[in-house]
Structure 1
Amino acid sequence: MAGSSLLHPSPPTLINLNFRRGELGYFHSSTTTHLLNSKPRHCPLRCQSTSTEEPKTKRNLLDNASNLLTNFLSGGKIGSMPTAEGAVTDLFDRPLFFSLYDWFIEHGSVYKLAFGPKAFVVVSDPIVARHILRENAFSYDKGVLADILEPIMGKGLIPADLDTWKQRRRVIAPAFHSLYLEAMVKTFRNCSERTIVKFEKLLERESLRGGKAIELDLEAEFSSLALDIIGLGVFNYDFGSVTKESPVIKAVYGTLFEAEHRSTFYIPYWKFPLAKWIVPRQRKFYGDLKVINDCLDVLIRNAKETREETDVEKLQQRDYLNLKDASLLRFLVDMRGTDVDDRQLRDDLMTMLIAGHETTAAVLTWAVFFLAQNPSKMKKAQEEIDSVLGQDGPTYESIKKLEYTRLIAVESLRLFPQPPLLIRRSLKPDKLPGGYNGAKDGYAVPAGTDLFISVYNLHRSPYFWDNPNEFEPERFLVEKKSHVEGWAGFDPSRSPGALYPNEIIADFAFLPFGGGPRKCVGDQFALMESTVALAMLLQKFTVELKGSPDSVEQVTGATLHTKNGLWCKLQKRSDIN
């Protein structure tokens, strides 16, 4: 459940970049992941990119028109800061966050992006990110993001206005308590076991034909696994998507595609009068939404019919390991003193469904992608897993001992944050800090300013990370002293007892789940889920990429996906009985 209070979808300023399952048929852009060894435009550092060509010397007519429009409509409203003139045509070459990185290296940690009809402030600095997300958090909201997601998530935690968010956060946050998470490990394990059994059966069939390995799209498999876990953990509903497909599952994916589409399409055409009836994909979307809402209504009604109202403290002390229904829905319905309005519950559940499914599948996908290129690191993880796990699989206690496996998931989130951008809008005038090498007096931003916090840039900043583009899970075990005024450095001891590195340890140079009051409430759920699934996969199998790393093309929407799946060769480990 990475992201803003669960997820930070990418901003609605990009042209749709085509979801990996091929459901989005509009303009698209993709990038080959020349990971760890290519050079982006304007960037002397080794970093992932789509091209090694020289910077453009001439803008075309569309680019020039876009920049002129920006300057005319909003150029003078944002205070003096370095300006990057956006090239609309870049969107047809590669995802925007690559360009944001190039402009970050060229213009600095805070710059204005002149792009189309608006100007945006792009932040790539932990000091400035900390100011926006924690120190002055309630001076910012989600802006246009809330408008885009409202038809899908209503007043769920992501798009909710500040007052609604404060109320729902107080209700939902206590549900992610330690006994619930402990019980969820059993759900993670059982769902992962379905996937493992499926792989074993496929390998058995292949062995009858004399083969030793099977080829699978692991991204699709992880997507099904994550959906099953969210269904059981949040709604007490078994999608069973690892082995079957139902109208509800199809509707869920249809809604996920639409969430991706709306978070990345340049013009919000779905707001036009009659669009929901005239545009085929919008008719399909509202049909999918009805299927899911009808399902959720039944689950909510059933939970209410068996309601056992009690106080939060007693809810958190239940024997969740032996409860037939240990879901979040059960907790929310049984909580005394809360409104259990059906519509609000539905909004909460829909938000967690979309947020919790997408991000976990992406974390697992990219973790395997990196491990397949680093056999020694895969072997190191397998040795740890063999020494910790028994035949019964992961438990809440054993997760604490899987240190290296946990850090693999975290390092994957550093290199491929889910999502790569956070979006905010200033509610009142503010002054941003200058950040590293920025203006000493900072930067004034008026009310209504849209800001992108580039998590991708933060996580790969050469000013705050050593070897920022290398896959090194071990980096999170080592303290890094600060050489930057206003940044406290990286110190694992700053958050004692934390299972996973967080924004406190890295002083906002690492934001896998956001930071401040609107940080994701499901961060531990998501990371524990990823750890269990990864450990169970590596305990039984070794993984190789079917093709070269460069053949794995990447697209971005609310999260980062592959264009055509993560096709891998899977075989049983030869070093175990």
Structure 2
Amino acid sequence: MDATALGHLPTVIHGGFQRLLSFSATHSPHSIPSFNSRFAKCSSGIRCQSSSMEKSKTSKKNLLDNASNLLTNLLSGGRLGSLPTAEGAVSDLFGRPLFFSLYDWFLEHGSVYKLAFGPKSFVVVSDPIVARHVLRENAFSYDKGVLAEILEPIMGKGLIPADLGTWKQRRKVIAPGFHSLFLEAMVKVFTDCSERSISKFEKLLESENSEIEEIQLDLEAEFSNLALDIIGLGIFNYDFGSVTKESPVIKAVYGTLFEAEHRSTFYIPYWNLPFVRWIVPRQIKFHNDLKIINDCLDGLIKNAKETRQEDDVEKLQQRDYSSLKDVSLLRFLVDMRGVDVDDRQLRDDLMTMLIAGHETTAAVLTWSVFLLAQNPSKMKKAQMEVDSVLGGKKITLECLKKMEYLRLIIVEALRLYPQPPLLIRRALKEDKLPGGYMGNEDGYSIPAGTDIFISVYNLHRSPYFWDKPDEFEPERFLTPKANEGIAGWAGYDPSRSPGAMYPNEITSDFAFIPFGGGPRKCVGDQFALLESTVALALLLQKFDVQLRGSPDEVQLITGATIHTKSGLWCKLRRRASVGAKQNQLVEV
């Protein structure tokens, strides 16, 4: 913070609230059928708040809440006056993840409401019609706001925090890199890395005590290591080998990941203060970690540029990837003819994909297994599909296309546990939001500078757009759902996006946005889906998985993503139906 810090005080408070939105509270997700204990069923079938919630709403707000509301009314109350208001119940934000409170307020105030908190007001969107407007129809009237402020010191001008000008330039360069032949080559990388994990599990079963029948592992930690190895090899041709070893680079990567999480959850951005990076131990370590990673990436970039084989995009996409030693995205970006290959920008791109790609993949695999472990019949159905498609073969892209049910399990896990649970946008100019379902027919005018939170969690669990929204039902995506009189929403129709590998914002008309939507949709969505499918397929092919304890013991922590507080401890038992012949994968 510079000498004019006093003038920036509203921005600092604003950033503090954003971090509060990701406050690291814990909550037990329970099994999905019992996850509805916060709600009671109304006769209409719509979930209503329970009597305890009603009492909470009518109880007298405490002093902190009243102070927050007073500040809002004095400083920003009139800017969003037409919107329904969830007054700043500060006390509701502590003790559990914020998105639960956002869901409660959504049921009370509707799909678009103003969250009044201290000196700022925020617009919370829980409606696909409004989300579509912000993310696609008027996308370039919004930027990432405070999200960019948090991530810029780590990711620089990578795709996520980049301003619109930089984003438009880099998107044109990076998106072609995720072409079909690259993804086919990546399936081998996904398989090789996943087999390392499987081999590790098998050795643990065989070690010392030959009579051991099961092992207990923190699968979240294992998935985290696996995701790191995949990102390293697939994106910049570096083998972290984190499944089987440790190194200074691996430690630095995890240190940086933890710092990114810390910055998304800490109330005050103290790291912006002068000299903090040299006197606060945590920040000293962070900058040391960042230097280790940057030095590593700089070396990889230098090597790639020294062996550059410049070519047109079309020819790069038609390379024989089976004969290449380096099939990474970095190789593609460096070799692209006529493209600025500034080292700093390349490093920012790689760092962004390292952080974003690692966290989300580890999280979706964790919650997929958590859900399957509570639904043995669905796990068995998935295993039968894997056995039928693979047999003794190596996984290929064609195999993955046939594993429809397995892919639906992954996207259903993303529906119930979206990564991230909130998308953040800031209006660059005055705009008019649609009213959404049951909202104001005339819509809502918002001034420039308005911060918007698109609650992916609320969209994915909305009782207005999904049947049994809190239940784990991968099969739901196989059946079209009419809009049932909801004006402006086209319903869910899997045929709307022919050939799509997964249900998406097109098939659901923005009621389901696992990778965002519109121009700034995640560029690595296919990469993430395929690596998750490979990892889950190989795990289920070899092992039956059970939770070590009760589902209630698996507490969650929220920050940039939804993950567990103390790991996902599971029991792995070798599948009795898997014979030795099937265990040996062979090339076909």
Distance 1:40 1:155, change over 3 A: farther
Q: Is 1:37 paired with 2:34? A: yes
Aligned AA for 2:519? P
1:330 partner SS: helix
1:102-150 deviation per Cα after TM superposition (whole angstroms, max 9, x unaligned): 0000100000001233110000000000000000000000011111111
Which stretches in structure 2 are left out of the alignment for 5+ residues? 1-14, 580-588
Residue in structure 2 matched with residue 122 of structure 1 by the alignment: 124
1:571 partner SS: strand
Deviates more, 1:389-398 or 1:254-263: 389-398
Of residues 109, 112, 130, the one that matches 1:110 is 112
Residue in structure 1 matched with residue 83 of structure 2 by the alignment: 81
Distance 1:270 1:43 in 2: 44
Residue in structure 2 matched with residue 188 of structure 1 by the alignment: 190
How far has the Cα of 1:383 moved from its partner?
0.4
Is the 8 Å Cα contact of residues 425 and 448 (structure 1) preserved in structure 2? Answer: yes
1:184-220 deviation per Cα after TM superposition (whole angstroms, max 9, x unaligned): 0000000000000000001112752x33111100000
How far has the Cα of 1:302 moved from its partner?
0.3
Higher relative contact order (CA 8 A, sep 6+): 1
Distance 2:451 2:371 in 1: 34
Distance 1:396 1:39, change over 3 A: closer
1:36 partner SS: helix
Distance 2:54 2:547 in 1: 27
Distance 2:248 2:21 in 1: 26
| Matched-pair identity in % | 77
Residue in structure 1 matched with residue 569 of structure 2 by the alignment: 567
1:498 partner SS: coil
Aligned AA for 2:17? T
TM-score in terms of structure 1 length:
0.94
Residue in structure 2 matched with residue 6 of structure 1 by the alignment: none
Structure 1 runs of 4+ off > 3 angstroms? 14-18, 38-49, 51-54
Give the number of the structure whose residues are more often helix, by fraction: 2
Distance 1:520 1:445, change over 3 A: same
Distance 2:212 2:21 in 1: 37
Is the 8 Å Cα contact of residues 462 and 469 (structure 2) preserved in structure 1? Answer: yes
1:249-273 deviation per Cα after TM superposition (whole angstroms, max 9, x unaligned): 1111111111111122222111111
Distance 1:227 1:108 in 2: 40
Q: Is 1:478 paired with 2:479? A: yes
Distance 1:47 1:260 in 2: 33
**After the TM superposition, which residues 158-557 of structure 1 pair with which residues of structure 2 at under 5 Å, given as runs?**
158-205=160-207, 207-208=209-210, 210-483=211-484, 484-557=486-559
1:466 partner SS: coil
Distance 1:440 1:53, change over 3 A: closer
Aligned AA for 2:34? N
Is the 8 Å Cα contact of residues 19 and 263 (structure 2) preserved in structure 1? Answer: no
1:469 partner SS: coil
How far has the Cα of 1:64 moved from its partner?
1.9
Is the 8 Å Cα contact of residues 17 and 555 (structure 1) preserved in structure 2? Answer: no
Deviates more, 1:59-68 or 1:326-335: 59-68
Is the 8 Å Cα contact of residues 180 and 326 (structure 1) preserved in structure 2? Answer: yes
Distance 1:16 1:485, change over 3 A: closer
Aligned AA for 2:551? P
Distance 2:139 2:103 in 1: 24
Distance 2:80 2:26 in 1: 31
Residue in structure 1 matched with residue 583 of structure 2 by the alignment: none
1:445-491 deviation per Cα after TM superposition (whole angstroms, max 9, x unaligned): 00000000000000000000011111011111101111211000000
1:13 partner SS: helix
Distance 1:338 1:79, change over 3 A: farther
Q: CA RMSD in A?
A: 1.9
Distance 2:492 2:381 in 1: 24
How far has the Cα of 1:66 moved from its partner?
1.9
Which structure has the larger Rg over C-alpha atoms?
2
Count of aligned positions: 557
How far has the Cα of 1:233 moved from its partner?
0.1
Residue in structure 1 matched with residue 67 of structure 2 by the alignment: 65
1:55 partner SS: helix
Is the 8 Å Cα contact of residues 39 and 48 (structure 2) preserved in structure 1? Answer: no
Distance 1:388 1:83 in 2: 52
Distance 1:12 1:335, change over 3 A: farther
1:468 partner SS: coil
TM-score in terms of structure 2 length:
0.92
How far has the Cα of 1:376 moved from its partner?
0.1
Aligned AA for 1:281? R
Distance 1:344 1:15 in 2: 27
Distance 1:549 1:52, change over 3 A: farther
Is the 8 Å Cα contact of residues 231 and 357 (structure 2) preserved in structure 1? Answer: yes
Is the 8 Å Cα contact of residues 79 and 443 (structure 1) preserved in structure 2? Answer: no
How far has the Cα of 1:276 moved from its partner?
1.3
Distance 1:389 1:206, change over 3 A: farther
Distance 1:530 1:539 in 2: 14
Deviates more, 1:193-202 or 1:78-87: 78-87
Residue in structure 2 matched with residue 99 of structure 1 by the alignment: 101
Distance 1:239 1:47 in 2: 48
2:56 partner SS: coil
Distance 1:47 1:551 in 2: 26
Q: Is 1:149 paired with 2:151? A: yes
Is the 8 Å Cα contact of residues 36 and 470 (structure 2) preserved in structure 1? Answer: no
Is the 8 Å Cα contact of residues 40 and 52 (structure 1) preserved in structure 2? Answer: no
How far has the Cα of 1:89 moved from its partner?
2.6
2:570 partner SS: strand
1:570 partner SS: strand
